A and B are shown apart, each in its own frame.
Chain A
Amino acid sequence: MVIIFNRIKEHYGLRWKLFVGYILVAFIPVVIISRTINTSIEDYFLSNKEGELKRKLTRIADLVSEENYIFDKNKSKEFKNAMLVKSIEESMRILILDNKGTVIDDTNSIENGKVLFSVEILEALKLKSTSRLQDDNITMYTSVPIIDEKSNIIGIILGVSTIGDINELSKDIKDNLLILNIVMLVLVTIGVLCMSNIIVAPLNKLLKVVNMMSEGHLDQRIEVKGHDELSKLCIAFNNMNDRLEEVEHTREEFVSNVSHELKTPLSSIKVLSESILLQESVPEETYKEFLQDINSEVDRMTFIVNDLLILVKLNQKAEVLNIQEVELNKILYDILKRLKPIAEKNNIELTFNEIRKINVEVDEMKLSLALSNLIDNGIKYTQEGGSVKVTVDADHQNAFVTVSDTGVGIAEEEQSKVFNRFYRVDKTRNRGTGGTGLGLSITHSTVLLHNGSIKLYSKEDEGTTFIVRIPIKYTK
């Protein structure tokens, strides 16, 4: 029994829970209510019957008292006939007892002359009318005292009747309720099965897709139907899959980019070192030149690896920010001071517009690096004679740093990708511009870590503007 039960649970899972839930919450209470209703109806009819019997016997008791049937022996035959007629009229057996419990008349002619005693007779002797169902649940005894004009008890009238009609009615009601309950159980079982299908089928589809995804098929999506919680789950799942695919694509791209970025300096080192090794006599200047080149490539690889590590830490949010209140203007001032020589070298005008002095709660070192990347890019991608303008402003909640250049600009279709790792607008990755291709990515991650935002506005051949928003007060 337990095994079967467990098997059903296993196989039908959610459907089983829904079914059991219905049984507990709906069906069992309905059964209880049905039984209560039936019992109430039975009690109601019984109560009515008792009242009706008492009324009938009271009228007959009055007749017996008025006609003095108990004491007037001359009326004996009339008495018997009268009781017989009443017995037929009222459909019950009538016994008349004197106040000593002796049966004077039994319409069934069985107990005449005997002393009868029961609780009902005792109650009537105490001047109380009683009606009680006997142990067989079919026969009802009703007793009513017969009193004279001085309210002295002179006898008892005992009525014996059946409640077969009530029992039949009760049985009919019970049978009908049982049929109703069974039909309800069947209908609702079918209903629950169908309903559960509506819930379980999409969950099964989801499960199938999840299983396929865990095997590596990340291109799986679920068809979304309807507008309920399940369809929202499917939409969220599809979105999650999109994101996973994107992440996987980014990872692949990242690995590919890292491989390429590292492969390039490694290839150079290889070529340079092979050149030195394969030549028999290499002049010292050539050695020095080649070794310098090798050294540069090693430096480059080191920068790439360091930037990657920074980026990874920033993205994992593993990096703990060293938040302090610093003057943002000073950070920018220091950056501009450091980059001014580079700008002047390329005849690029570098200006600083301080609208107001702002103190912000930031990690000074990281933010400085992030803003430095922006300004450095601005200088890098502006032609000779151009300008790079840095503005700092604030409202009551946020500080705004704007870096605007008159450089080559970024095409519209490229603008959403510039914050990607290793992404260069120039596809040939012209190393003439220098850098690792991770600068903007690091800037973006740093700003996000400070709960800020960075926006980009650019037009090709006109220039680019970056607007960085940093909350003045840092909140985790």
Chain B
Amino acid sequence: MYKNNAFKIIFFIILIIIGVAIFFIFFKNKIITDNNSEQVNIYFINYMNKKIDIEKKTISKTDKKDKISLVLDEFFNVNKSNFNNSNLFKNIVIENVNIEDNLVKITLSNKYLNLEPWEDVLFRTLLVWTLTDISGIEGVTFLTDNGKQLIYNGEPLGELTRNNVIISPDMKQEEANKHVVTFYFVNKEKMRLFTEDREIEIHSDQSLEEQVINQILQGSKNAYNLINDVKLLDATTINKTCYVDLSSDFLIKLKEDDKMQELFIYSIVNTLINLSGNRIQKVQFLISSEKVNEFSDKINLSQPFEKNESLVI
């Protein structure tokens, strides 16, 4: 009986110790913070957990400019210690810090331009999130020591905010794919082809060629539509040639108006070849899965077609 009681007492003591430890860990910073100091969040990369983490630091309460200086100091310290690399950000020298309204302008020495790409991206991203965590700061601009903005690929970097610098993006595959495609349709005058840019929703259960051809067959309100009833049986690209298999209605429709034959054929050909850059260079038509050896004197459907811009307005 005494043994049982002893175990119970020991158990409760252990529980109390754990409770105090948890309280201390989670509320330590709140306890420590008093009226003369405040907490700031320093962003760093946690290689153990493979994610971006925050380390809370306490700094003295001061004006904005001094606060930013203190935060910058903590930023460098935290990142160097967490990266286990004292050479991290070695070549980054901050020459000057200015605050204009809600924007922090940081002037870096020209040594910054020699940084490795990963160090550059790491520094900018983590610093932007650290500084914009401070109340009243919404963006950061990086300048070189000649006072001009950093230039990347010929373009100034611009103001970096939390809207255009995303850390640990939460991206999904399932969001809708919309894409602008240039379609070639036969104009109402039935004389030429015209282009129409259309934003279409791309579905992964059909190939792009099939989705685009179906849109062509549906036609456009601005176009002369003849082949609406034609069914697409298949569209597959092999060795840069797209094999378009249509129902026999296609031949029937084309034979109705032999002047239109070329236009409707190149409506499909030009749209497909233009769509995919170099992926499709030719289009071969099949009717009910077979090549048509005899069609008309002008058109030889048994051979593949290449792009023809001469028919376009």
Q: In the complex, are the beta carbons of A117 and B171 less than 8 A apart?
A: no
Write the nearest CB–CB distance from B45 to chain A, whole angstroms: 7
Write the nearest CB–CB distance from A159 to chain B, whole angstroms: 9
- Residues of B within 8 Å of A323, CB to CB, are none
Q: Does A88 contact B (CB under 8 A)?
A: yes
Q: In the complex, are the beta carbons of A109 and B173 less than 8 A apart?
A: no
- Residues of B within 8 Å of A79, CB to CB, are 277
Q: Does A1 contact B (CB under 8 A)?
A: no
For the complex, give the distance between the alpha carbons of A88 and B202 in Å. Answer: 8
Interface members, chain B 134-180 (any A CB < 8 Å): 152-153, 160, 163-179
Q: In the complex, are the beta carbons of B172 and A160 less than 8 A apart?
A: yes
Q: In the complex, are the beta carbons of A108 and B176 less than 8 A apart?
A: yes
Q: Does B122 contact A (CB under 8 A)?
A: yes
Cross-chain contact of A125 among B121, B170, B204, B276 (Cβ < 8 A): B121
Cross-chain contact of B121 among A75, A78, A101 (Cβ < 8 A): A101
Q: Does B275 contact A (CB under 8 A)?
A: yes
Write the nearest CB–CB distance from A246 to chain B, whole angstroms: 53
Q: Does A268 contact B (CB under 8 A)?
A: no
For the complex, give the distance between the alpha carbons of A91 and B153 in Å. Answer: 30
Q: Does A102 contact B (CB under 8 A)?
A: yes
Q: In the complex, are the beta carbons of A82 and B45 less than 8 A apart?
A: no
**Which residue in chain A gives the minimum CB-CB distance to B206?**
A88
Write the nearest CB–CB distance from B199 to chain A, whole angstroms: 9
- Residues of A within 8 Å of B175, CB to CB, are 93, 108, 110
Q: Does A139 contact B (CB under 8 A)?
A: yes
Q: Does A100 contact B (CB under 8 A)?
A: yes
- Residues of B within 8 Å of A132, CB to CB, are 50
Cross-chain contact of B207 among A88, A107, A109, A141 (Cβ < 8 A): A88
**Which residue in chain B gives the minimum CB-CB distance to A140?**
B173
Q: In the complex, are the beta carbons of A114 and B165 less than 8 A apart?
A: yes
For the complex, give the distance between the alpha carbons of A89 and B168 in Å. Answer: 26
A93-B171, A132-B50 known; A117+B277 contact, CB < 8 A = no
Q: Mark A51-68, 1 if CB is under 8 A from B, else 0.
A: 000000000000000010
Q: Does B252 contact A (CB under 8 A)?
A: no
Q: In the complex, are the beta carbons of B166 and A122 less than 8 A apart?
A: no
- Residues of A within 8 Å of B160, CB to CB, are 115
**Which residue in chain A gives the minimum CB-CB distance to B178?**
A109
Q: In the complex, are the beta carbons of B277 and A92 less than 8 A apart?
A: no
- Residues of A within 8 Å of B241, CB to CB, are none
Q: Does A29 contact B (CB under 8 A)?
A: no
Q: Does A113 contact B (CB under 8 A)?
A: yes
User: How many residues of chain B have a CB within 8 Å of chain A?
Assistant: 44
Write the nearest CB–CB distance from B203 to chain A, whole angstroms: 8
Q: In the complex, are the beta carbons of A91 and B277 less than 8 A apart?
A: no
For the complex, give the distance between the alpha carbons of A118 and B117 in Å. Answer: 14
Q: Does A315 contact B (CB under 8 A)?
A: no
Q: Does B310 contact A (CB under 8 A)?
A: no
Q: Does A121 contact B (CB under 8 A)?
A: yes
For the complex, give the distance between the alpha carbons of A379 and B204 in Å. Answer: 121
A109-B179, A117-B166 known; A139+B173 contact, CB < 8 A = yes
- Residues of A within 8 Å of B51, CB to CB, are 119
Q: In the complex, are the beta carbons of A102 and B208 less than 8 A apart?
A: no
Q: Does B293 contact A (CB under 8 A)?
A: no
Write the nearest CB–CB distance from A111 to chain B, whole angstroms: 7
Q: In the complex, are the beta carbons of A117 and B117 less than 8 A apart?
A: no
- Residues of A within 8 Å of B170, CB to CB, are 134
Q: In the complex, are the beta carbons of B171 and A160 less than 8 A apart?
A: yes
Q: In the complex, are the beta carbons of A118 and B177 less than 8 A apart?
A: no
Q: Does A238 contact B (CB under 8 A)?
A: no
Cross-chain contact of A81 among B152, B204, B207, B277 (Cβ < 8 A): B277
Interface secondary structure of A, over-half rule: mixed
**Which residue in chain A gives the minimum CB-CB distance to B179?**
A84
Q: In the complex, are the beta carbons of A115 and B173 less than 8 A apart?
A: no
Q: Mark B23-54, 1 if CB is under 8 A from A, else 0.
A: 00000000000000000000001010011100
Q: Does A405 contact B (CB under 8 A)?
A: no
A82-B279, A100-B121, A110-B175 known; A115+B168 contact, CB < 8 A = no
Write the nearest CB–CB distance from A73 to chain B, whole angstroms: 10
Q: In the complex, are the beta carbons of A82 and B277 less than 8 A apart?
A: yes
For the complex, give the distance between the alpha carbons of A216 and B311 in Å. Answer: 120
Q: Does A98 contact B (CB under 8 A)?
A: yes
Q: Does A85 contact B (CB under 8 A)?
A: yes
For the complex, give the distance between the alpha carbons of A117 and B202 in Å. Answer: 27
Interface members, chain B 229-275 (any A CB < 8 Å): 275
- Residues of A within 8 Å of B164, CB to CB, are 113-115
Q: In the complex, are the beta carbons of A115 and B208 less than 8 A apart?
A: no
Q: Does B120 contact A (CB under 8 A)?
A: yes
For the complex, give the distance between the alpha carbons of A219 and B178 in Å. Answer: 96
Q: Does A99 contact B (CB under 8 A)?
A: yes
Q: In the complex, are the beta carbons of A117 and B173 less than 8 A apart?
A: no
For the complex, give the distance between the alpha carbons of A82 and B204 in Å. Answer: 15
- Residues of A within 8 Å of B174, CB to CB, are 162
Write the nearest CB–CB distance from B252 to chain A, whole angstroms: 31
- Residues of B within 8 Å of A111, CB to CB, are 166, 169, 171
For the complex, give the distance between the alpha carbons of A98 and B173 in Å. Answer: 21
A98-B153, A119-B45, A122-B118 known; A91+B166 contact, CB < 8 A = no
- Residues of A within 8 Å of B125, CB to CB, are 101, 115, 117
Q: Mark B110-126, 1 if CB is under 8 A from A, else 0.
A: 00000011101110110
For the complex, give the distance between the alpha carbons of A122 and B167 in Å. Answer: 11
A81-B276, A98-B152 known; A118+B120 contact, CB < 8 A = no
Write the nearest CB–CB distance from A148 to chain B, whole angstroms: 13
A100-B117, A101-B125, A117-B165 known; A84+B173 contact, CB < 8 A = no
Write the nearest CB–CB distance from B78 to chain A, whole angstroms: 17
Q: Does A210 contact B (CB under 8 A)?
A: no
Q: Does A87 contact B (CB under 8 A)?
A: yes
For the complex, give the distance between the alpha carbons of A75 and B171 in Å. Answer: 26
Interface residues of chain A, those whose CB is within 8 Å of chain B, are 67, 71, 75, 77-82, 84-85, 87-89, 91-93, 95, 98-102, 107-111, 113-119, 121-122, 125-126, 132, 134, 139, 141, 153, 160-162
Given contacts A84-B177, A108-B171, A119-B50, 16 further A-B contacts (CB under 8 A): A71-B153, A77-B182, A81-B276, A87-B202, A93-B177, A100-B117, A100-B121, A111-B169, A117-B121, A117-B166, A117-B167, A122-B118, A122-B121, A134-B170, A139-B172, A162-B172
For the complex of A and B, list the 7 residue pairs with the smallest distance between their C-beta atoms, beginning with the closest: A78-B277, A125-B118, A117-B125, A101-B121, A99-B117, A115-B165, A119-B50
